[in-house]
Amino acid sequence: MKTAKKEEMRKEYKREDLGKGVRGKYYEEYKKGTNLVLLSPDVAAAFPDDASVNEALRSLMKIARQTTGLKRSTGSRLASRAR
C-alpha cells in the first residue's frame, strides 16, 4: 500500500490513525455557549472582521434602547389604518 504524504488528504482514515480520543475535552467551552451567525454575502462584505460587526450591533442596541420610550412607530399607525 502506498503511504500518503503528510500534507495530502487520504481517501480513508483508520480510527487508530486519528490518535486517542479524550472524552469531554471541549465540555467547559461548550457549556459557555456560542452564537455563530452566518451573514449574507452582501452584509459580510460591509464588515472586515468580527469586531466591526459587534460594534455595529452594539450601536444598534444603544439606539433601540434610546428609542423605546417613544410613542407608537409609524409602522403601527399604518397597520391600524389598514384594518
Give the list of residues 6+ apart from residue 53 with CB closer than 8 angstroms, or none. Answer: 39, 47
Residue 76 has pLDDT above 90, yes or no: no
Number of structural domains the chain divides into: 1
Percent of the chain with pLDDT over 90: 33
Contact 53, 59 (CB under 8 A): no
**Cα dist. 12→15, 18, 20, 65 in Å?**
10, 11, 18, 54
Residue 9 lies in a domain: no
**Chain-centroid distance, C-alpha 28:** 19
- The pLDDT score that the predictor gives to residue 83 is 47
Residue 65 lies in a domain: yes
Residue 48 lies in a domain: yes
Residue 45 lies in a domain: yes
| The model scores a pTM over 0.75 | no
Residue 1 has pLDDT above 90, yes or no: no
**Cα dist. 40→13, 37, 56 in Å?**
35, 10, 16
